[in-house]
């Protein structure tokens, strides 16, 4: 009996979450990063088709590792892709798909891991027949950059939920993907209703990310700030209306409690939005409070706090890269 070859996984988008996934999954399965061009940092270029990813496992207790990962441009990928993780920023998803469209097979599984909401809906509209899944995670992940090196850091242990978005995805099991992530050391659970998990995470991001960006502080410090204290109740109410209208009823007190809990649990973490601002990148505010604002406006629900936070963050962030 011939054994079938293990599946090869592909990751498109080497940000903090892409690095976190790569550093874990490369230990259990063959993996290829899809890049537009060879790594430019001398320390990262490990020669023909390989890249050095400098990885700091959780809490800094374990030593840094230099992981040698395979990478490829789209043109050089000769065989059909079974499973593709898209870990770009939410506003880069469409261009990421254009980049890989030619190598998507009929039964390629696409797993989206973006902050906020909106990009998932747009991809489902763009590729309605494809097997599209989404995952959301509370793992803490950062990138620390110096002139000639990038360090990917595992900043906090969290939980990942993964489940199908399109009908085509609902017809094919993704328990193997969930198992790969668990075997790789990420605590992952199948979510039959992944939209609910995405809405829950959206509410948490809406209540933490803009405050950290505006106050330029780690997550835990927002709780004592006047800006947060004056807005959190009304913001939670807006989010409760929006989430409930979307079919995921939540009380505003419950949303506020969760926001406070996550801010405390990830107190030392620099939110992804503040990381973007500090690195001079465009933020994901339009997929976070901007999404909640537009959604609420569309359905005649209250939205003034989400609108105000979106506009304030837009004012201090960079235009698109
Ligand atoms: O997901 C996050 C983010 O930074 O985007 C939180 C939950 C706020 C943790 O930092």
Residue-wise pLDDT for 181-206, tens only, equals 999 999 999 999 999 999 999 999 99
pLDDT of residue 2: 47
Q: How far is the CA of 246 from the centre of ligand 1 (A)?
A: 22
Element (H, E) at 131: strand 131-137
pTM over 0.85: yes
- Quote the percentage of the chain above a pLDDT of 90: 79
Query: Model confidence at 80, in pLDDT bands (50, 70, 90)?
Result: confident
For ligand 1, whether the C-beta of 83 sits within 6 Å is no
Element (H, E) at 135: strand 131-137
Range 9-192 classified under CATH 3.40.50.720: yes
pLDDT of residue 320: 55
Residues of each domain in the chain carrying CATH 3.40.50.720: 9-192
What are 186's two structure tokens?
């990420």
Average pLDDT, the chain: 93
Distance CA 232, CA 210 (A): 11
pLDDT of residue 1: 40
Atom of ligand 1 at shortest distance to CA of 269? 10
Query: Model confidence at 60, in pLDDT bands (50, 70, 90)?
Result: low
For ligand 1, whether the C-beta of 32 sits within 6 Å is no
CATH class given for the domain over 197-316: mainly alpha
User: In this structure, which residue's CA is closest to atom 2 in ligand 1?
Assistant: 271
Atom of ligand 1 at shortest distance to CA of 115? 5
Element (H, E) at 71: strand 65-72
Residues of each domain in the chain carrying CATH 1.10.1040.10: 197-316
Distance CA 169, CA 163 (A): 9
For ligand 1, whether the C-beta of 219 sits within 6 Å is yes
Q: How far is the CA of 271 from the centre of ligand 1 (A)?
A: 5
pLDDT of residue 42: 61
Which ranges of the chain does DSSP label H, i.e. alpha helix?
A: 16-25, 93-100, 119-126, 167-170, 175-183, 194-215, 226-245, 252-265, 272-278, 289-298, 304-316
Residue-wise pLDDT for 249-308, tens only, equals 999 999 999 999 999 988 988 999 999 999 899 999 999 999 999 999 999 999 999 999
């Amino acid at each position: 009996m011939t054994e079938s070859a293990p599946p090869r996984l592909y990751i498109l988008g080497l940000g903090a979450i892409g690095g976190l996934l790569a550093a874990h999954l490369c230990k259990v399965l063959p993996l290829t990063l899809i890049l537009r061009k060879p790594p430019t940092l001398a320390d990262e270029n490990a020669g023909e088709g390989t890249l050095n990813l400098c990885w700091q496992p959780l809490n800094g207790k374990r030593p840094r590792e230099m992981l040698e990962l395979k990478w490829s441009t789209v043109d050089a990928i000769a065989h059909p892709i079974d499973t593709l993780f898209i870990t770009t920023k939410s506003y880069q998803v469409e261009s990421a798909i254009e980049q890989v469209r030619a190598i998507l097979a009929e039964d390629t599984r696409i797993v989206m891991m973006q902050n906020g909401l909106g990009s998932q809906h747009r991809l489902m509209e763009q590729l309605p027949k494809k097997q599209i899944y989404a995952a959301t995670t509370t793992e803490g992940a950062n990138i620390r950059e110096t002139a000639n090196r990038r360090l990917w850091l595992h900043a906090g242990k969290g939980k990942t939920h993964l489940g199908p978005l399109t009908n085509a995805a609902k017809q094919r099991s993704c328990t193997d993907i969930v198992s790969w992530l668990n075997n790789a050391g990420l605590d992952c659970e199948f979510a039959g209703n992944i939209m609910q998990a995405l809405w829950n995470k959206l509410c948490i991001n809406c209540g933490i990310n803009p405050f950290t960006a505006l106050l330029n502080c780690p997550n835990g410090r927002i709780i004592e700030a006047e800006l947060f204290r004056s807005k959190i109740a009304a913001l939670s109410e807006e989010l409760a209306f929006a989430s409930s209208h979307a079919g995921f009823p939540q009380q505003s007190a419950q949303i506020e409690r969760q926001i406070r809990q996550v801010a405390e649990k990830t107190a030392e973490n620099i939110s992804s939005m503040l990381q973007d601002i500090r690195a001079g990148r465009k933020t994901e505010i339009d997929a976070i409070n901007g999404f909640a604002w537009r959604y609420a406006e569309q359905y005649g629900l209250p939205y003034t706090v989400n609108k105000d936070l979106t506009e304030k963050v837009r004012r201090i962030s960079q235009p698109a890269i």
